[in-house]
């Protein structure tokens, strides 16, 4: 008797099916779902997450929707969007984000991530870098320079043309990105947590490795 139907074999992947450069940092913890590395000198953390379930990502195709989606997520924590993009890693569409969230006392926490989605699972690389010590130096230097050039002005005790969502100038919620957080200033402040987070995310995206079983996973359709 012919067997017309057979159960689809589930492809076996795990946390170690994706390999990221750890920068030589200290591994502080590992379980079935995440590996964490820290660099105490930079107050920075790298985490590789594995989620064995359907991604809760709304899409990996519609960039305009993703920009709105992450903008609203950041604003709910009184934060702001720095960057949202769709990037190709080993021919797989992945979602790249950088957001900032104010710390309780002073300064910002910058969270940069790449989500690698598949039909029934996903991987997320997350970098968190906190402002420590004297904060606001990058902002102050760039702000002063832009006031001198007239690109930013002070009008009735408010700073005009300084704070703005990178994709929607009409959006005013949360703590908006300011002009000092543009990527073009990273080389002037290489130790700033945003520069660190952005640089790490770029190098990880360029060097990340997938084991053969990853290529067999059904793709994320949304």
Q: For residue 1, name the pLDDT band (cuts at 50, 70, 90).
A: very low
Q: For residue 9, name the pLDDT band (cuts at 50, 70, 90).
A: low
Q: For residue 8, name the pLDDT band (cuts at 50, 70, 90).
A: low
Q: Could you tell me if 84 and 168 are in contact, meaning their C-beta atoms sit under 8 angstroms apart? A: no
Once rounded to an integer, what is the mean pLDDT over residues 186-215? 94
Q: CB-based burial of residue 144 (10 Å sphere; 0-12 exposed, 13-18 middle, 19+ buried)?
A: exposed
| pLDDT the model gives residue 40 | 74
| pLDDT the model gives residue 133 | 80
Q: Could you tell me if 101 and 130 are in contact, meaning their C-beta atoms sit under 8 angstroms apart? A: no
Q: Which residue has the tokens 């590789």?
A: 48
| Cα–Cα distance for residue pair 153/7, rounded to 1 Å | 66
3-state secondary structure at position 6: coil
| pLDDT the model gives residue 106 | 85
Distances (CA, A) of 146 to 9, 21, 139, 155: 59, 37, 10, 14
* pLDDT tens by residue, 128-158: 999 888 888 899 999 999 999 999 988 877 8
- In the predicted model, is pLDDT for residue 116 greater than 50? yes
Which residues have CB under 8 Å from 27's CB, separation 6+?
35, 36, 37
Helices (H) and strands (E) in the chain, counts: 4, 11
Q: Could you tell me if 100 and 177 are in contact, meaning their C-beta atoms sit under 8 angstroms apart? A: yes
Q: Which residue has the tokens 């920009």?
A: 67
Mean pLDDT of the chain: 91
Once rounded to an integer, what is the mean pLDDT over residues 150-174? 90
């Amino acid at each position: 008797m012919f067997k017309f139907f057979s159960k689809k074999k589930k492809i076996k992947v795990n946390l170690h099916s994706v390999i990221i450069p750890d920068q030589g940092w200290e591994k502080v913890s590992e379980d079935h779902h995440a590996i964490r590395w820290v660099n105490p000198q930079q107050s920075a953390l790298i985490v590789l997450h594995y989620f064995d379930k359907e991604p809760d990502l709304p899409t990996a195709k519609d960039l305009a929707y993703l920009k709105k989606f992450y903008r609203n997520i950041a604003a709910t924590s009184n934060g702001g969007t720095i960057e949202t993009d769709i990037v190709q890693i080993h021919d797989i569409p992945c979602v790249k984000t950088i957001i900032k969230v104010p710390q309780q006392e002073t300064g910002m926490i910058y969270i940069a991530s790449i989500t690698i989605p598949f039909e029934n699972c996903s991987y997320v690389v997350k970098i968190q870098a906190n402002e420590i010590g004297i904060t606001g130096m990058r902002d102050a230097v760039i702000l002063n320079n832009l006031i001198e050039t007239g690109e930013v002005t002070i009008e009735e005790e408010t700073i005009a043309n300084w704070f703005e969502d990178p994709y929607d100038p009409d959006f005013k919620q949360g703590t908006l990105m300011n002009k000092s957080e543009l990527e073009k200033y990273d080389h002037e402040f290489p130790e700033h947590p945003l520069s660190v987070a952005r640089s790490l995310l770029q190098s990880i995206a360029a060097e990340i490795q997938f084991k053969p079983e990853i290529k067999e996973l059904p793709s994320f359709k949304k």
